[in-house]
Copies of this chain bind each other. A is one copy, B any other.
């Protein structure tokens, strides 16, 4: 009996200030009816990353997202049907793209990471690990920007950080630190949402690459 290799993808998004994860309901045994992290077998001719991207596209229809390898899980008993090793990934999609994902398949939906259902297999461990990685990465990289659409307000950005870190941040300190990085381009465009209109910004990946090369990272 050979070992079968799969990929599983923990897909996060932010919906109205709440960190959510995409889960699919299993239609077959084992764990029939339980919710699970989307994934599937690695095909003969594709790399692990290609497999993850393919599953992501098949399950959610989304493409062109942030994707990072997380960890590989291979406990001999993790799948009762037989020996599997899964290479887990985590992906970040912005709120706009997230909408199409949840509606595509009837048996896929977004769950708040706070109020998630019991999961199949060892998927609870995988999700916990992904969450931990996301929190850590938030502090020294710009992954947070991946959860926002092209144009966003500084309030939007702060909400992303607060949702992931699970605590409130000071508005003035937050803006100063973001400003210091100089990786946001303020646009000549405002968005009104129940109060004073907020300026929209765009993430400038080009400026960020320069910072990375110099070893300057995120100071949260």
A48 contact from B2, B4, B46, B85, Cβ within 8 A: B85
Q: Mark A7-43, 1 if CB is under 8 A from B, else 0.
A: 0000000000000000000000000000000000010
CB <8 Å contact, A76 and B5? no
A147 CB → nearest B CB, Å: 23
Bound Cα distance A158, B83 (Å): 45
Bound Cα distance A33, B42 (Å): 32
A76 contact from B47, B71, B85, Cβ within 8 A: B47
Given contacts A69-B72, A72-B48, contact A42 B85 (CB under 8 A): yes
A2 contact from B3, B45, B47, B87, Cβ within 8 A: B3
Q: Mark A89-103, 1 if CB is under 8 A from B, else 0.
A: 000000000000000
Chain A residues with a Cβ under 8 A of chain B? 1-5, 42, 44-48, 69, 71-76, 83, 85, 87
